[in-house]
Structure 1
Amino acid sequence: MTLSTPTALTVRDPWSLVPSLGNLDAYISAVNRLPLLTPEEESSAARRLRDSGDLEAAGRLVLSHLRLVVSISRQYLGYGLPQGDLIQEGNVGLMKAVKRYDPDQGVRLVSYAMHWIKAEIHEYVLRNWRMVKVATTKAQRKLFFNLRSMKHSMKEDQADDQTHRNSLSEAQLAHVARELNVKPEEVLEMETRMSGGDVALEPQSDEDGESFAPIAYLADDSQEPTRVLEAQARDELAGDGISRALEALDERSRRIVEERWLKVNDDSSGGMTLHELAAEYGVSAERIRQIEVAAMKKMRKALSPA
């Protein structure tokens, strides 16, 4: 991950101390060497930015608070995301804070910027901690971060308890719900979301061809247009289509087809055999087979689209 200062906020020496390229350690070392602004210098720079859009003043404000972003980013290392990415997102929040900062409100920029820095890092964590978002509403986001912090504290308190499990007990659920002023059901739902992991929908490329992935059973093609048309055509052929095709046959051919293919006796033995029909009509079994083949051709022709 490469970290750099905003190009729009380029300033003159000695403020151009942050390397444009380099590893994370070099970046952190560089921002920690940047001098802090006195309250008077901060107010003066903020007024110049507000009143005249002075980019050099904006650069002084941003650069002097980069170490704050680094410090805040360390609080979110437990989510398994690169610290470099967390710092970059925090820097975005810092720039937003500098742009909106009003020195006449009587609040130091460090206090004002913390909200914006954390807000950007929160959004980044929620977007990237899981492939599917675990929290979408404001209330869910608050519950997500608070619940994770409280669960961590509970684990530390119960480190010596052999019966301790990763999931919360009913008493712990009730305690968390009271502390966060939410329903126990909401706490349980969020804990379930947090404990779940991402699952690949398709087999991984290094797996063999016999692997089975969720994509195989998640897809529902019953309403796919081609399948719908095929089903409609099949139902048509099995119903009115067969009746129309039989009407195209003479009486003997129709009876032979019905006895051979459409009739099922109570014992599920099917209709009459070629020899039984041959004996009834006084012809050979081969002749009955020829009549059957000719009748089938005529029926297929009758069922074919015009």
Structure 2
Amino acid sequence: MTTRTGTLTAATALAPANPWALVPPLGNLDAYISAVNRLPMLTQEEEQDYARKLKEHNDLDAAGRLIMSHLRLVVSISRQYMGYGLPHSDLIQEGNVGLMKAVKRFDPDQNVRLVSYAMHWIKAEIHEYILKNWRMVKVATTKAQRKLFFNLRSMKQELKADAAIETGDNTFRDTLTAQEIDSVAAKLNVKREEVMEMETRLSGGDVLLDPSPSDDDDKAFGPISYLTDGAHEPTAMIESRQRDVMATDGIAQALEALDDRSRHIVEERWLKVNDDGSGGMTLHELAAVYGVSAERIRQIEVAAMKKMKKALAEFA
């Protein structure tokens, strides 16, 4: 198992005096987590200022402040990958390496917060570490295989739970049915053959690197005890909020870009629902309202959609 000894203390070394240098070594994990959670967060203005100092003047003090204020993010993300039987401290170390890479490459002129940018680098570094250490033989080498690896295990648990509820049969089945394989392939947009191959790789061969219970340690757990809670995964939560904003404020702004007739057509066609649950007005109904052909209404609708797509792109 590969580790990067001293990664956390290296991050601490970049930081200036109190309170930034109060993070203890990783030897005491609870003390480390408690310390990073007490570190002050940066405002957007402070973050932009430090990022520019680092980019323009290679200011290591500024880099240290950016790193230290986001160590709690690494701890949060690393918890989601404890189900692979790897030490939490190692996951944090690898995540901190990803955070350092993100800080080094962060561009303050892109008008995004470092937290959003750093998530990709932190998770990428942890993913790479897990794939190198979870099995003696790598189980995922291509992009599609990596996608399956980090989703198939949790999805299997969900499918088995749903099946148990529907049938009342709590008998454990380790393999997926043909219908379940098709469901996974559709959700992940991969071929069913790829799902079957990854399931085979995951279910046999090497021994998992998880702690084994012993007579002296009744607190040892297997990977199943730490499955990721997808509902509270930071990236998924941010994406969900972005979709909500796009569906409200984004659509409203896009509609403002249309003339009255085009806006009315789009609203009647796509944004209104009748009392009986059916959709809005048809092309022929709108054609009767405006005294034009249904084809003309369709042309107006197509042009309006193009304008809205452009406005939504600018909003995003």
Inter-partner Cα distance in structure 1 for 2:125 and 2:113? 20
Pair 1:110–1:186, CA change in 2 (3 A): same
Instruction: Report the Cα offset of residue 180 of structure 1.
Output: 1.4
Q: 1:17 aligns with which of 12, 16, 22?
A: 22
* Pairing 1:102–2:110 present: no
Find the residue that maps to 1:5 and give its secondary structure.
helix
Conserved? CA contact 1:158–1:164, under 8 Å? no
Once superposed, which parts of structure 1, at least 4 consecutive aligned residues long, lie more than 4 Å away?
A: none
Where does 1:73-152 land on structure 2 (aligned, <5 Å)?
Answer: 73-152=78-157
Tell me: CA distance 1:4–1:182, structure 2 relative to 1, closer, same or farther (3 Å): closer
Q: What's the Cα RMSD here?
A: 1.9
Please state how far the C-alpha of 1:75 moved relative to its aligned partner.
0.5
CA-CA distance at 1:164 after TM superposition: 4.5
Question: What CA distance in whole angstroms lies between the structure 2 residues aligned with 1:116 and 1:100?
Answer: 10
Q: Which of residues 50, 55, 65 in structure 1 aligns to 2:55?
A: 50
Q: Does 1:4 align with 2:8?
A: yes
**Which blocks of at least 5 consecutive residues in structure 2 are unaligned?**
208-316
Q: CA deviation at 1:151?
A: 1.4
Offset, 1:158: 3.5
C-alpha distance in structure 2 between counterparts of 1:135 and 1:14, whole Å: 41
Matched residue, 1:59: 64
- SS of 1:132 mapped into structure 2: coil
Matched residue, 1:39: 44
CA–CA distance in structure 2, aligned partners of residues 58 and 23 of structure 1: 25
Q: Say if 1:10 and 1:16, in contact at 8 Å, map to a contact too.
A: yes
Greater RCO, 1 or 2 (C-alpha within 8 Å, sep 6+): 2
1:168 and 1:123 map into 2 onto residues whose CA distance is 27
Q: How many angstroms does 1:103 deviate by?
A: 1.1
Q: Residue in 2 aligned with 1:170? A: 178
Q: Report which of the two structures shows the higher radius of gyration computed on alpha carbons.
A: 1
Q: TM-score, normalised by structure 1?
A: 0.62
**1:190 deviation in Å?**
0.2
Structure 1: segments with no counterpart, 5+ residues: 200-306
Task: Report the Cα distance in structure 1 between the residues aligned to 2:60 and 2:82, rounded to whole angstroms.
Answer: 32
Q: TM-score, normalised by structure 2?
A: 0.60
Q: 1:191 aligned to 2:196?
A: no
Q: How many residues align?
A: 200
Identical-residue share of aligned pairs (%): 73
**C-alpha displacement at 1:162, in angstroms?**
2.7
Tell me, yes or no, if the aligned pair for 1:177 and 1:183 is still in contact at 8 Å: yes
Amino acid at match of 1:49: L
